[in-house]
Structure 1
Amino acid sequence: MIRLFLPDSPDLAKGVSIVLPPDPSRYLGAVMRKGPGDEILVFNGRDGEWLARIDAVGKKSVTLIADRRTRPQPQGQGPVLLVALIKRARLATIVEKATELGASKVQLLITHRSNSDHTNVERLTLIAREAAEQTERLDVPEILAPVKLDRLLDGLDYSAVFFGDEDSTHEDDKATLSMLKAVEGSDPDRAAILIGPEGGFDDDERQRLRALPNVHPVNLGPRILRADTAAISALTLFQAAAGDWT
């Protein structure tokens, strides 16, 4: 069944009328050829998932009537993914898979080795929205505009941050643990996963990360992973150990 994310809809309740914006109206009426009486599922990230019936199809808008709630809104939010900017196609893959894997937000980062300092956040938000609609997720992760890693670390506000550290040769006392072991007991709603750019963090960034008390270096396995593979692997391991897969 068709699912639509309607972030600007009124609060969903039985009998509520919803006038769709032009794009979803065109999709339902012109593309999918839906008409009065047809059923779809809708969600707004606040009120759970609702079965709605098409009430009217006009030239510029479609009107729905909410009928019944099919699923309540989950309470948990999931971890935040902090990820350095990489090539466009691979970054799009990260956003799509982070949505599927339950990340609550994706914060884009500019690091010393980033090969870009900007990206199309609107496009990435659309990718996240489509992934949520297709995978029965009841909210859509926020995609946050790029900030410099140094600025993020100045105001770090997570109970724990786990960053992929492929370099295990350090003189400090902070052990690099496996991801599964490091995240045991973590609060998934206050934790973040940090993934660097292709080529990894430079020495200054790595030293600063390892010096912060709530930042934990983790090992993602014996092979060097591309940034997109590392992000997907880290989120998968986190959800298996401390997230909504347990």
Structure 2
Amino acid sequence: MKLDYQFKTRVYSESSLDENSIIKLSSKQSHKLVNVLRMKTSDDIIIFNNISGEWSAKIDVNKSIVSVECIKKIRNAKKEAGPSLIFSPLKQARSDWLIEKATECGVESIYPTLMKRTSVRNVNIDRYRNYAIGAAEQTGRLSIPEIQPLRKYEEQLEICEKLNKTIIFCDELRMSPIIKEFNNNLNASDVVIVIGPEGGFDDTERDYVQTNIENLIECSLGPRIYRAETAALIALALFQ
């Protein structure tokens, strides 16, 4: 069932939200509402975060700054119970797209990871987070995925192992078993999907998971070899 307020503009805020509280939006958010969406004083929006939940609100425009008054709570806070993703950073536009679409698919945490064949070895975590926020505002989810710091492959896997996650290792060289054979038997929030870089996994990375990861499922995404960002979205979508 679709929500009856689905067409209202949604805005994410880290401020505490409560009845009649007044929230001053950032200059970037204000610019979008006033100059892009052409909104004006007393227009209705939705404001939300993963602690205070989601609120109906009205805006007040004072020159170039927008303030928001919370009117009524619509939904309580809710953490996204989706899979997590380990991926190798891509060129900027492709990474931006991946972060956005992964958020739309309900990803819980995102782990940018340095692998043997990673070509982009520096990332902007704040940029990733901004794309995740934009996607959350668009899709109606209440939480923003946690963007982990860039770390080495072994470090990210060790962190996930300590969280008792099941590692879904999507290997482009495998033909079977197919990943969709497992999605109905696992809780999405217990899963970390591992997608290789452009050029694929190095054999040492395959050896590492086979030797060191206890809760490991090695699988295929099917008969085709996909681009990294496409592979991530296919895998995430199966755990909706």
TM value normalised by structure 2? 0.88
Q: Give a deviation string over 1:139-169, Cα, whole Å, max 9, x none.
A: 2112222111022234433320101112239
State the partner residue of 1:223. Answer: 224
Distance in 2, Cα, partners of 1:64 & 1:202 = 51
Q: Select the residue among 25, 36, 41 that pairs with 1:36.
A: 41
State the partner residue of 1:237. Answer: 238
Residues 80 and 108, structure 2, Cα contact 8 Å, conserved in 1: no
Distance in 1, Cα, partners of 2:91 & 2:70 = 41
Q: Which runs of 5+ in 2 are unaligned?
A: 1-7
State the partner residue of 1:167. Answer: 173
State the partner residue of 1:4. Answer: 11
Distance in 2, Cα, partners of 1:124 & 1:222 = 31
Amino acid at match of 1:59: K
Report the alpha carbon displacement of residue 181 of structure 1 after superposing the two structures with TM: 1.7
Distance in 2, Cα, partners of 1:51 & 1:154 = 41
Report the alpha carbon displacement of residue 198 of structure 1 after superposing the two structures with TM: 1.1
1:181-196 alignment runs, 5 A limit: 181-196=181-196
State the partner residue of 2:115. Answer: 111
Query: Which secondary structure does the structure 2 equivalent of 1:238 belong to?
Result: coil
CA 1:161/1:57 → structure 2, altered by over 3 Å: closer, same or farther?
A: same
Where do 4+ consecutive residues of structure 1 move more than 4 Å?
A: none
Q: CA RMSD for the aligned pairs?
A: 1.9
**Aligned residues, how many?**
230
- Residue identity over aligned pairs, in percent, reads 35
State the partner residue of 1:244. Answer: none
Distance in 2, Cα, partners of 1:18 & 1:153 = 39
Q: Select the residue among 62, 66, 78 that pairs with 2:66.
A: 62
Amino acid at match of 1:213: E
Distance in 1, Cα, partners of 2:58 & 2:227 = 44
Residues 106 and 142, structure 1, Cα contact 8 Å, conserved in 2: yes
Distance in 2, Cα, partners of 1:28 & 1:90 = 27
